Amino acid sequence: MSAEPEILISARAASFNYTDQNDKIYPALDGVNLEVGRGEYLALLGPNGSGKTTLLKLFNALLIPSAGEVLVKGISTFAADHLFTIRRTCGMIFQNPDNQIVATTVEEDIAFGLENMALPPSEIRNRVDTVAELLGLTALLKHPPHLLSGGEKQKTAIAGILAMRPECILLDEPTAMLDPTGRRDVLDAIRLLNQEEQIALIHVTHVPEEAAEADRLVVLDQGRIAAEGPPQKILSNLALLHQLGLRGTVAAELTALIRQDGFLLPPNIFLSRELVESLCSLVQKS
């Protein structure tokens, strides 16, 4: 019997309210209970305004709960004297890499956080070279970031966080501004970090095909958890997703349409290869 994974992040009845200039309160999260294990790949899916990014910022202590508590490695984010430890544990990647890139070359940008950690030059050099090789950036180290493609910029932002050796990377729609090639490059890179480096990933996305890559999927709606479970279970539940204004994967949506035409397909199809295999099986039987 395998042991339960060690809990890295825990939200305990976590709520958060935004307040406007007239002191009007807008609730963003309402009593969220959630645990994330070491090395887990968790996706957060939900409509606009559901609280996904707010929850991500609570995990990084960029925001502090209005009620409840968030613990990172057992440390409450209320502990102001532990913010460095919390943010070093949970590195954050934003939607637009231009908001995160600060240096004039790729290698200088990757090294920026390491220099702030006052690491020896030899250690900085080693870490920059290591993450550059891992993410396929070695040939670009001397390049100015503004000349890179969107996918290369995002990988540079990821490399800068990875070089600081976080135990978790928080990704706020990291592919939203990328073309299909850049999107695939970034998804491949973060999956590699999860599988080979055992770095936990918490990935906010609007794209069900991206959420399908995760080990576990949490759906947020109006600041609360509306569904939680394996991606196959959630992304093939079109009734739930449509009720929340979301869609399933293309494969799940197509499967539902094909079933309406009387074709008997297996339940819970949510990946394209599953749909293709099922259709081929039907053709062979006919």
Span 261-272, pLDDT tens digits: 888 888 888 888
What confidence score (pLDDT) does residue 5 get? 65
What confidence score (pLDDT) does residue 69 get? 97
What confidence score (pLDDT) does residue 263 get? 82
pLDDT digits (tens, 9 = 90+) for 99-131: 889 999 999 999 999 998 999 999 999 999 999
Q: Could you identify the residue written with the tokens 């074709």?
A: 263
Which DSSP string do the residues of 90-151 spell out, in sequence order? EEEE-S-GGGT--SSSHHHHHHHHHHHTT--HHHHHHHHHHHHHHTT-GGGTTS-GGGS-HH
Q: Which of 62-71, 86-95, 177-186, 245-254 has the lowest mean pLDDT?
A: 177-186
175-179 average pLDDT score: 86
Strand partners of residue 42: 202, 216
What confidence score (pLDDT) does residue 2 get? 47
Say how many C-beta atoms besides its own lie within 10 A of residue 54's C-beta: 24
What confidence score (pLDDT) does residue 4 get? 57
CA atoms within 13 A on the CB side of 40: 22
Residue 207 has pLDDT above 50, yes or no: yes
CA dist 20 to 26, 30, 54, 151, Å?
8, 18, 16, 35
pLDDT digits (tens, 9 = 90+) for 161-172: 999 989 999 999
Q: Where are the domains of the chain?
A: 7-248
Residue 210 has pLDDT above 50, yes or no: yes
Residue 13 has pLDDT above 70, yes or no: yes
Residue 284 has pLDDT above 80, yes or no: no
The CATH number of 7-248, from 3.90.1660.10, 3.40.50.300, 3.10.180.10, 1.20.1250.20, is 3.40.50.300
Residue 259 has pLDDT above 90, yes or no: no
Q: Is the pTM of this model over 0.85?
A: yes
Percent of the chain with pLDDT over 70: 98
205-224 average pLDDT score: 95
Say how many C-beta atoms besides its own lie within 10 A of residue 273's C-beta: 9
Whole-angstrom Cα distance, residue 74 to residue 77? 9
User: Mean pLDDT of all residues in the chain?
Assistant: 92
Identity of the residue numbered 112: F
14-36 average pLDDT score: 94
What confidence score (pLDDT) does residue 286 get? 66
